[in-house]
Structure 1
Amino acid sequence: MSALFGTDTLILTAIILLLTASWHLYQKRKLYRNVTSKLPTLYGIPFIGLAYQFFDLNKVYQYVGLNFDTIKNLTGCIWVATTPFVFTVEPEVIKRVTSSPDFLNKSKDLYAHFHNGVLNGLIVSPAKKWKPDRKAISPFLAHNNIIGFFPCFNDNANNVKNKLECLAEQGEQDIFTIIKECGLQLSLFTIMGIEMEEGSEKYSEIVHALNAFIDHMTKNSVYTSVGLGFLSRTPQYRTLRKYIQDLVQSLIKVNRERKDESEDISNFVEDKQMMIELALKAVRQGVFSEKDVEIECFTMIAASFETSVSAAYTCLLMLAMHPDIQERVFQEIRSVFPDGVTAVEYDDLKKLPYLDMFIAETMRVAPPIPYIGRQASQDTELCPGVTIPKDMQIVIPIYELHRRKEIWGPNANRFNPDNFLPENIAKRHPCSYIPFSKGPRNCIGFRYAEISLRIILLHAVRSLKFSTTFKYEDIVHIPKVTLGYQMEPPVSIEVRAN
Structure 2
Amino acid sequence: MFTWELCCTLLCVLWFYILWSRRRFYKLIFQIPGPLGYPLIGMAHKLLHKNDVLRQITYYKEKHGPCIFSWLGPMPFLIVSDPQVVQNVFNSPHCINKAIVYNSIKDAMGLGLFSESEPNWSVHRKLINPSFSYKMLVNFIPIFNTETANLVKMVDQFVDCGEKDWIPILYQFTLNTSYRTTIGTDVKANEYTNSKNLCEVVINILGTATDMCFSPWLLSKTVRQLLGRDKQYTKNKLVLTECVREFIETKIKNGRKTPPHSDDNYIFFNLVIDLMNRGILTKKEVEGHTSNMILSALETSVNIVAYTLILLAMFPEYQEKAFEEIRSLFPEAGDFEVTYADTQNMPYMDLILNESMRVLPPVPLVARQTMQDVLLSNGVLIPKGVQIAISIFHLHRDKKIWGEKAETFYPEHFLPQHMEDKHPYSYVPFTKGIRNCIGWRYALISTKVTLAKLLRNYTFTTSFKFEDLHFVEHITLKFEQMPQLAIQRRD
Q: Same fold per TM (> 0.5)? A: yes
> Which residue is equivalent to 2:57?
64
Aligned-pair CA distance for 1:63: 1.0
User: Does the 8 A contact of 2:40 with 2:73 survive in 1?
Assistant: yes
Which of 317, 324, 333 is the equivalent residue of 1:324? Answer: 317
Please list the CA deviations of residues 276-318 of structure 1 after superposition, one character each: whole Å capped at 9, or x if unmatched.
1100111123321111111101111112212111111111111
Provide the alpha-carbon RMSD of the alignment: 2.0
Name the amino acid aligned to 1:468: T
Aligned length: 483
Structure 2 unpaired stretches of 5+: none
Name the amino acid aligned to 2:199: V
d(CA) in 2 for partners of 1:372, 1:111: 9
d(CA) in 2 for partners of 1:12, 1:190: 66
> Which residue is equivalent to 2:98?
106
Name the amino acid aligned to 1:288: L
> Which residue is equivalent to 1:4?
none
Are 2:404 and 1:404 aligned?
Answer: no
User: Does the 8 A contact of 2:111 with 2:285 survive in 1?
Assistant: no
d(CA) in 1 for partners of 2:279, 2:6: 54
Which of 75, 80, 93 is the equivalent residue of 1:88? Answer: 80
The structure-2 alpha-carbon separation of the partners of 1:196 and 1:19, relative to structure 1 and needing over 3 Å to count, comes to: same
- The TM-score, its normalising length taken from structure 1, stands at 0.92
Aligned-pair CA distance for 1:184: 0.9
Name the amino acid aligned to 2:359: V
Aligned-pair CA distance for 1:273: 4.7
> Which residue is equivalent to 2:219?
229
Are 2:434 and 1:472 aligned?
Answer: no
Aligned-pair CA distance for 1:138: 0.9
Are 2:485 and 1:491 aligned?
Answer: yes
Please list the CA deviations of residues 33-80 of structure 1 after superposition, one character each: whole Å capped at 9, or x if unmatched.
122221112112222222222233222211111111111x22120222
Structure 1 unpaired stretches of 5+: 1-7
Name the amino acid aligned to 1:212: N
d(CA) in 1 for partners of 2:5, 2:182: 59
d(CA) in 1 for partners of 2:88, 2:354: 23
Name the amino acid aligned to 1:252: I
Aligned-pair CA distance for 1:348: 0.5
> Which residue is equivalent to 1:124?
115
Please list the CA deviations of residues 328-361 of structure 1 after superposition, one character each: whole Å capped at 9, or x if unmatched.
1001100111123511100001221011000000
> Which residue is equivalent to 1:238?
234
The structure-2 alpha-carbon separation of the partners of 1:365 and 1:10, relative to structure 1 and needing over 3 Å to count, comes to: farther
Are 2:178 and 1:187 aligned?
Answer: yes
d(CA) in 2 for partners of 1:128, 1:263: 33
d(CA) in 2 for partners of 1:483, 1:376: 25
d(CA) in 2 for partners of 1:354, 1:459: 15
Are 2:35 and 1:42 aligned?
Answer: yes
1:160-175 equivalences in 2 (<5 Å): 160-175=151-166
User: Does the 8 A contact of 1:167 with 1:173 survive in 2?
Assistant: yes
Aligned-pair CA distance for 1:207: 1.6
Which of 266, 271, 278 is the equivalent residue of 1:278? Answer: 271
d(CA) in 2 for partners of 1:241, 1:20: 43
Name the amino acid aligned to 1:192: I
Are 2:67 and 1:75 aligned?
Answer: yes
Please list the CA deviations of residues 408-455 of structure 1 after superposition, one character each: whole Å capped at 9, or x if unmatched.
112210110000000111120010000000012100011111111111
Please list the CA deviations of residues 448-495 of structure 1 after superposition, one character each: whole Å capped at 9, or x if unmatched.
111111111001000000000011111112122211121111100000
Name the amino acid aligned to 2:421: K
Please list the CA deviations of residues 161-203 of structure 1 after superposition, one character each: whole Å capped at 9, or x if unmatched.
2211211011100021110011111122222222122797842
d(CA) in 1 for partners of 2:191, 2:324: 38
> Which residue is equivalent to 2:428?
434
Are 2:86 and 1:97 aligned?
Answer: no
Secondary structure of the corresponding residue to residue 127 of structure 1? coil
Name the amino acid aligned to 1:95: Q
Please list the CA deviations of residues 214-255 of structure 1 after superposition, one character each: whole Å capped at 9, or x if unmatched.
11111111112xx66334572332222222111110121122
Which of 246, 250, 266 is the equivalent residue of 1:250? Answer: 246
Please list the CA deviations of residues 67-109 of structure 1 after superposition, one character each: whole Å capped at 9, or x if unmatched.
11111x22120222222111111111111111121222222x2
> Which residue is equivalent to 2:146?
155
- The TM-score, its normalising length taken from structure 2, stands at 0.94
Instruction: State the percentage of identical aligned residues.
Output: 30
Aligned-pair CA distance for 1:262: 9.0
d(CA) in 2 for partners of 1:199, 1:173: 29
Name the amino acid aligned to 2:461: S
